[in-house]
Structure 1
Amino acid sequence: MGYGENRGDYWRARYKIARGKYGTVLDANGKAVRFKTQRQAEKAAAVAEENVAKEAAQPVTVPEPERMTFGEYASGWYEEQDLAASTMQNYRRHIEEHLLPEFENAIVDEITRADIEAWERKERGRGYAESSIKTWRATLHLLLADSVEEGLRDANPATRRRGRGKRAGRSRRRGPEKVVTDALGALLIAERSALLSGRDDEFVANVQIYYTGNRWGEVVGLETEFVRRGSIRVEHQLYELDSGELHRCPPKDDSYRTIDTPPFLDGLLFGQIARTSPKPCPCHGLTYLYSGHGAANGATSRPGAKLADVARLAGVSTGTVSNVLNHPNRVTEQTRVKVAKAIAELGFVRGGGAGERAPHWRRNGFAQWLFQPAATGWYPKKAPEEAHPVPVLAEPFPGIPARGRGASGRATACWQPIAKGLTPHGNRHGHKVTLDELKTPKVLVDERMGHIDGSVSARYSHVTQTMRDELMEGLTRVWESALDLRRQMCPTSPVAVLDRLLTGRPA
């Protein structure tokens, strides 16, 4: 008997062709007709079943089954999808880069389980991560599942059979455990990131991720109007597409939420606004809390020494450095000597760091040239240079990065690793670990992280003000403990915002 099949925002008409086999009502182009109501779909299915019955009553020549290649089907399938830009981009990448090279000319109903397993072995042999191969197979499974529903084949060969095959070696195919760090490690990485960028913005952003659990796109897309006393509101994210465009879209899985913020984080966030006076960006016309650290032309290579670096090393303000360069008669000889020495040690080139800033961070630029060197103490490989330690001038602690030509020769030390393998997203995991250590109720953890618990018990759990207050007190204790440990290493910092925090702590 025909029926209407709910497909989310539309209905498909399904009708019986033979015992255990159903077809879908198609339009003139061979695409499934999308009905607005269940009733419309049921009527169309009933008509289709009548036509099948009439044809069955008359002797006809059975036509050859449709022979469509996987490439043809995948192309039509992709055009029918209406999903988020990030999801469409990922599907296209999976199909074009990993599925079509193997299956493009294969007939859809002739692809076998053995073919898919052989493809997996090839991908593994090319050095791809097991988690990536699993993701690509999931896309292949989705395509072939839809082809089954459209009657192009009888079963889905990409379905994994439970309890079959070798069990040995399964642990080797697991992805590596996510690297996390503690509150002191996060603080040190934030400090180093600010030293590498030459500004305080990266310090504030790293602290925000660790103490709120924000995703990277949510931090980049945080507008100043959603920064409030005691909370930040997650309404959008900026997702970087392959084209380089930063797409403003809802947060992942529609995880709109309000995240409570402790007073110390409020001070950092509102201090960021007061210090930088953010202006509307040219791409969206909106005012975001953070801007990019690189040049507006999109270059993400390691930046050279900046005016702020010289000021930090010389122990003066950036205005004083500017006077030394432009109005030397306004400063004393002693100050000129200090600034000149700092310029020589850092390899500062006048005008080298000038130019309009990019409106937003780029994921690779931030992760590769700021976060990774801060966490590991090493710059990544970039032809023609191999990976190498970050050269720094040992004083003041924790060391000022030496940049420009001959930086390694001028350096007196290098940074030790804090957390090898840590990524910006790892600080989101670190926030979850901190919540667990503070014994935070699961219902409040899910609210902060943007997760949904569909269990029955979750329906009877609710967040109370007492829970929120206890969590804010706990996060404040964690933060102050990290500050005290950092102060034991050195009571000052070349990062201005951290220096004020350290000097304001009781001895």
Structure 2
Amino acid sequence: MGYAEKRGNYFRARYKIAPGRYGTVRDPSGATAKFRTKREAEKAANDEEAKVRAGTWRDPSAGQITFGAYASRWYAAQDLAASTMQNYRRHLEEHLLPEFEGRALSEILGPDVDAWARKERERGYSESSIKTWRGTLHLVLADAVEEGLIGTNPATKRRGRGKRAGRSRNRAPEKVVTDPLGVLLIAERAALLSGRDDEFVALVLMGFTGMRWGEIVGLETEYARLGSLRVEWQLYELDTGELHRCPPKDDSYRTIDTPTWLSKLVTDHLARTAPTPCGCHGRTYMFHGLSASNGDATRPGAKLVDVARRAKVSTGTVSNVLNGTVGVAEDTRARVEKAIADLGYVRGGAASQPAAHWRRTGFATWLFQPAATGWYPKKAPQPARPVPVLAEPWPGVPARGRGAHGRAEACWVPIASGLTPHGLRHSHRTLMEELGTPPVLADERMGHTDGSVQRRYTHVTADMRARLVEDLTRCWDAALDARLAMSPRSPVAALDELLQVRARRKGGVPKIVSQFSPTAGPQDKSGAAHLTADGP
């Protein structure tokens, strides 16, 4: 039984924890509880001893470990996917430790967590991000509760509490999607921006298969088969810049049926690029990056800038000539080629080799976003600006090099402002809804899992797969017809071949619609004209 111990003008309550070990009742601040009477002290001691016998007692001193010390120990004990570990580390280091690192676990209370969330909100972070970080905090403290370090989890959000603001407070922007024609037009623009067909093939593949970005980057040639693609791996980009080869998200291994036209697009791409194993993984991937870091400075002989000075053009123009980009004037091309011959310039070393893989930020910022919106993003000291293009050939070739905006004749109008590479995955799922694809097949294609009873008793059939392939082919043909009506040719070789084949099948070239928009106002429809005659 517990007992009361006289301590000057008050009593303290003592209770048995284990043989030969006694504890003292403490107040919420951790200090010794002082009781006015002996009876009160004995009752408090007996209550604590009853908790010991019931197994619900928690050592008050255990909660004195700081959040920073416990979080470090907790993180070291995790054995999760590299992407998950990276996210947990970022959440802890950037958002949780600055607020709670020096506090004892027992000192972190619910109001403290709510106050932290308000601070994050005032800093401009979105509700979804704050919810994610609070989830990590809840996970860490839940393990602390399980270890007996604290009694309750202060990060638990009680339902029915807080400001009654409806759903508007937590409402995020609606995800932007596009249709098959939008996918085609954005892919064409991305190829024009990069100066090669790889981006066209990759974006069409994303738009018509729903593959994730990491799955596209990590698509190995051995998994590209006639009539299907097999998703076995992805490349996940870590904060260190390393591309980690790992299983697809949530182990969503799957085989994706591809229409004949898409299989041919992939096959032609492989034949054209003849990919070789990368140096970082030793595996052969279907796509590689656009360019590697510039190594000209360490290579002997004439440099790119020397050629530009001799030909009296910009380095960007020299690169366009070397890359065979359409849109360089013939006299300029001849002058650059003469300078190259005179100086004996040779592209060699790391500078001439494409990067092994795309980088998510570079691809989304400098290829996908300008293709979807028609605008380059802000980059200090330059503000956001329209993509300057030369009007011919249609839909306009991006002007490059010094004075590009002065030489431009037009600029692109938006196709789908706010669309992201991941938005193509949403677009494909939405397209399947429009086509009436059975949910069981749509989930399989996207790599999703449905644990409902209906899903357990529903199965994918060969007829379902065949109908979806036919529907996707019909959507692609309609997109090609719409693109053909805009212009019968394309500067992108892969698309130009498709347009010519389509035109022959239709028995002639349709009448070309106007290539220019009469105004420079934004248009967010995939069927909108590509150019505005007002220029950038």
TM-score norm. by structure 2 comes to: 0.75
Say if 2:512 is the partner of 1:498. no
- Cα drift, residue 297 of structure 1: 5.7
Distance 2:417 2:434 in 1: 22
Classify the secondary structure of the residue corresponding to 1:239.
Answer: strand
Corresponding position of 1:33: none
Corresponding position of 2:243: 246
Contact kept, 8 Å, 2:294 with 2:351, in 1: the verdict is no
Q: Please give the root-mean-square deviation of Cα atoms over the aligned residues, in Å.
A: 2.8
Distance 1:465 1:248 in 2: 32
Aligned pairs (5 A) from 1:445-464: 445-464=442-461
Corresponding position of 1:362: 359
Aligned pairs (5 A) from 1:402-481: 402-481=399-478
Question: Which residues of structure 1 form unaligned runs of 5+?
Answer: 1-16, 19-51, 57-61, 329-348
- Cα drift, residue 443 of structure 1: 0.5
- Cα drift, residue 170 of structure 1: 3.1
Contact kept, 8 Å, 1:309 with 1:400, in 2: the verdict is no
Q: 1:165 to 1:65 in 2, by over 3 A?
A: same
- Cα drift, residue 249 of structure 1: 0.2
- Cα drift, residue 110 of structure 1: 1.5
- Cα drift, residue 169 of structure 1: 4.8
Aligned pairs (5 A) from 1:253-268: 253-268=250-265
Q: 1:393 to 1:381 in 2, by over 3 A?
A: same
Corresponding position of 1:306: 320
TM-score norm. by structure 1 comes to: 0.80
Distance 2:270 2:493 in 1: 15
Corresponding position of 1:38: none
Contact kept, 8 Å, 1:375 with 1:418, in 2: the verdict is yes
Say if 2:226 is the partner of 1:226. no
The superposition leaves residues 304-346 of structure 1 with CA deviations (integer Å, 9 ceiling, x where unpaired) of 4523775523699xx9999777679xxxxxxxxxxxxxxxxxx
Say if 2:483 is the partner of 1:486. yes
Out of 198, 201, 208, the position equivalent to 2:198 is 201
Distance 1:390 1:497 in 2: 22
Classify the secondary structure of the residue corresponding to 1:443.
Answer: helix
Corresponding position of 1:104: 101
Corresponding position of 1:34: none
Contact kept, 8 Å, 2:62 with 2:150, in 1: the verdict is no
- Count of residue pairs brought into register by the alignment: 427
Q: 1:154 to 1:413 in 2, by over 3 A?
A: same
Instruction: Give, as a single letter, the amino acid of the residue that structure 1 aligns with 2:252.
Output: S
Question: Which residues of structure 2 form unaligned runs of 5+?
Answer: 1-16, 19-48, 54-58, 297-314, 509-536
The superposition leaves residues 166-220 of structure 1 with CA deviations (integer Å, 9 ceiling, x where unpaired) of 2215323222111111111111100000000000000000000000000000000
Contact kept, 8 Å, 2:321 with 2:328, in 1: the verdict is no
Corresponding position of 1:378: 375
> Who wins on radius of gyration, i.e. which is larger?
2
Instruction: Give, as a single letter, the amino acid of the residue that structure 1 aligns with 2:436.
Output: K
Classify the secondary structure of the residue corresponding to 1:258.
Answer: strand
Classify the secondary structure of the residue corresponding to 2:287.
Answer: coil
Q: 1:311 to 1:176 in 2, by over 3 A?
A: closer
Classify the secondary structure of the residue corresponding to 2:64.
Answer: coil
Distance 1:315 1:468 in 2: 49
Distance 2:418 2:133 in 1: 24
The superposition leaves residues 265-284 of structure 1 with CA deviations (integer Å, 9 ceiling, x where unpaired) of 10111111000000000000
Classify the secondary structure of the residue corresponding to 1:498.
Answer: helix
Aligned pairs (5 A) from 1:42-441: 64-296=61-293, 304=316, 305-307=319-321, 311-313=325-327, 355-441=352-438
